[in-house]
């Protein structure tokens, strides 16, 4: 009996990427609920079997897109906290927002984050994934807060968890404004944050 040829991992990854990208385009156009698996299959230009092999349900596709939408920010945060010496908080925030800016355009992966937030309220499994992922992002911000305490940028008496929660909220807060209203631009937003962090005495 002849052995079944093994499909290279690169091919499998590329095919999966093709499907996720097609689903993202469909969901951006139609929303999670209006877009169907048939829409995704047509957009990807693949057979029904090929798509269902990777993603048995629309919920699986939504989770994969959520991983894309949120995971990239985690990578940027992880790289930011590894900087030596530690970056000032505003510079660290600027790096994170710069990444958000690249992903908030019409085809940007983070533009779909708002739909993910809404779907997470309805789907318990997606909600658990989003909560766990965002808790991980908040822990990165807590590391930034502790670094800022060590460098004297913020008070040693500050609660790092509380600082992390406030810093974390600045990121989706800006994304939401950009997606829904088109602004403010990153420089204007950071100027406002700088004023809040360094009030006039």
The CATH code of the domain that includes 41 is 1.10.10.60
Q: How do the pLDDT tens digits run along the chain, 201 residues long?
A: 555 556 678 888 999 999 999 999 999 999 888 999 999 999 999 999 999 999 999 989 988 988 887 778 888 999 999 999 999 999 999 999 999 999 888 878 888 888 889 999 999 998 999 999 999 999 999 999 999 999 999 999 999 999 999 999 999 999 999 999 999 999 999 999 999 887 665
Query: What residue numbers bound the domain in which 52 lies?
Result: 7-56
Specify if 69 maps to a domain: yes
Identify whether residues 123 and 187 lie together within a single domain.
yes
The label of the residue with tokens 């004023």 reads 195
Specify if 2 maps to a domain: no
Identify whether residues 39 and 82 lie together within a single domain.
no
- What is the CATH number for 116? 1.10.357.10
Question: Please, what is the angle between helix 58-81 and helix 89-102, to 10°?
Answer: 150
How many domains is the chain partitioned into structurally? 2
Q: Dihedral, CA atoms, 162, 167, 173, 175, nearest 10 degrees?
A: -150
pTM of the model: 0.84
Which one-letter DSSP state was computed for residue 21? H
């Amino acid at each position: 009996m002849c052995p079944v040829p093994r499909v290279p991992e690169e091919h499998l990854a590329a095919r999966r990427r093709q499907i996720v990208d097609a689903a993202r385009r469909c969901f951006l156009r139609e929303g999670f609920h209006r877009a169907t698996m048939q829409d995704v299959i047509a957009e990807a230009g693949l057979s029904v079997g090929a798509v269902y092999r990777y993603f048995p349900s629309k919920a699986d596709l939504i989770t994969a897109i959520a991983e894309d939408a949120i995971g990239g920010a985690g990578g940027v945060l992880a790289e930011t906290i590894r900087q030596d010496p530690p970056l000032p908080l505003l510079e660290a925030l600027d790096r994170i927002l710069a990444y958000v800016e690249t992903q908030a355009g019409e085809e940007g992966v983070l533009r779909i984050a708002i739909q993910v937030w809404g779907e997470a309220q309805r789907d318990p499994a997606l909600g658990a994934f989003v909560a766990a992922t965002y808790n991980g992002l908040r822990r990165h911000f807590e590391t930034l807060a502790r670094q800022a305490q060590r460098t004297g940028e913020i008070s040693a008496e500050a609660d790092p968890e509380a600082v992390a929660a406030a810093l974390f909220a600045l990121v989706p807060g800006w994304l939401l404004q950009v997606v829904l209203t088109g602004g403010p631009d990153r420089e204007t937003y950071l100027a406002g944050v700088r004023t809040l962090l360094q009030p006039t005495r």
